[in-house]
Structure 1
Amino acid sequence: MLRIQSGKETGSDSVRHSAGLWARALHRLQEAAVNVTAHSVDPADVARAAFRSVATGHLDHFTDLLHEDVVYDVVPVGLRRGRQAVRRYFEEIRLAMPDLVMTMEHAVGDDRYAAVEWRMTGTFDGAPYQGLAPTKRHIALQGVDFVEVDTGRIRRSRTVFDGAELGRQIGLLPSRGSAADRAATRAFNVKTQLTDRWREHHARQRSHAP
């Protein structure tokens, strides 16, 4: 067996050392390959897959596309933090509208962000939604999801749609242009005028105070 003098490694030690270096190098290459694959995923494709999973009711697949600490900001409703909270929100929507139909209009993205324009229709005749009892009203909405994708999964998402329009369609708010809508507008304007007068009155009183 070859031995190297002056305290150096033996031949077998050198082989083991080289094998260890190769093993560590291979491990680093494998990790790099995983990272490259994750980073090379098109965010628009991730957004499309997430949308289709919700639209078809495959919420297990949808949840797999979310980071563990994902933040979903549904602007008219509020924040949902974490995979399970986001999943429960979409379960609530599907239970509230059993005949829900979701259609993706467009999806675009760059190397980190994506946007999905969508439409949805359904009948609010299932379970309650956000504490509201079902009214058996038909709903037709459009909106946009803006998502941030990190290592192939959604890190953050912001959903924007007309919450007031949803309220009108389910009967929570009066229909646009209806007698009730006009009455509410008049009442609001009267309140605003009275508030302005009250503020002006108190401002004058303060200005004349000794």
Structure 2
Amino acid sequence: MRDIAERTAFLEDWVAALNVGAEEVVTFYTEETLYEERGIKVAIRGRENLRQFYRQLYPMFSNLAVTTRKSIVTADHAVVEWTMSGTLIGKIPEVPAPSSGEAPFSFEGASILEFADDGRIAREAAYWSVADLIQQISAPRSG
């Protein structure tokens, strides 16, 4: 069992890795992890499949930034409220492409995490509003 301070530090490192890229972030997940993107209805089993998902996802953004607003941490679970912002320059599954080829965005979400005995993430369910993202990337841009 891990103490709360250790879990909290782990989450801070996890968020920092989310701001770097696929290779950095997947190290926080177990080999058999289950990752669910509830906003776009994607479920991914296994670290290698998650790595491929992130390798496809990260190039769709520039200036990607994830920040946390609040975390609730226990020995076995955590809930993390976060904000993701940046510029969408590609197409996300289940989301229309930006109307102008690229579009700035910022939206809030939350992840529910379950920790494995080794301290890594065994399951993540991420919740966010696809409608919020679509509204932002579909808005006409003044030039």
- Name the TM-score class by shorter chain: 0.7 to 0.9
Equivalent in the alignment of 1:34: none
CA deviation profile, 1:189-210 (whole Å, cap 9, x unmatched): xxxxxxxxxxxxxxxxxxxxxx
Matched, 1:90 2:57: no
TM-score, L = length of structure 2: 0.80
After TM superposition, list the pairs within 5 Å mapping 1:55-134 onto structure 2.
55-57=19-21, 59-77=22-40, 78-125=42-89, 127-130=90-93, 132-134=96-98
TM-score, L = length of structure 1: 0.56
CA deviation profile, 1:26-62 (whole Å, cap 9, x unmatched): xxxxxxxxxxxxx3263333333222101122x3332
Larger Rg, first or second structure (1 or 2): 1
- Asked if structure 2 preserves the Cα contact closer than 8 Å seen for 1:47 and 1:147, the reply is no
Identify, as 1 or 2, the structure richer in strand. Answer: 2
Runs (5+) with no aligned partner, structure 1: 1-38, 176-210
CA deviation profile, 1:82-116 (whole Å, cap 9, x unmatched): 11222233333321112212212222201100121
Give how far 1:153 is off.
0.7
Percent identical pairs in the alignment equals: 21
Equivalent in the alignment of 1:148: 114
Runs (5+) with no aligned partner, structure 2: none
Equivalent in the alignment of 1:40: 2
Matched, 1:170 2:126: no
Larger relative contact order, structure 1 or 2 (CA cutoff 8 Å, min sep 6): 2
CA deviation profile, 1:109-153 (whole Å, cap 9, x unmatched): 01100121111111112x332275453121111111110011211
In 2, distance between residues paired with 1:136 and 1:56?
Answer: 20
1:68 aligned partner, one-letter code: E
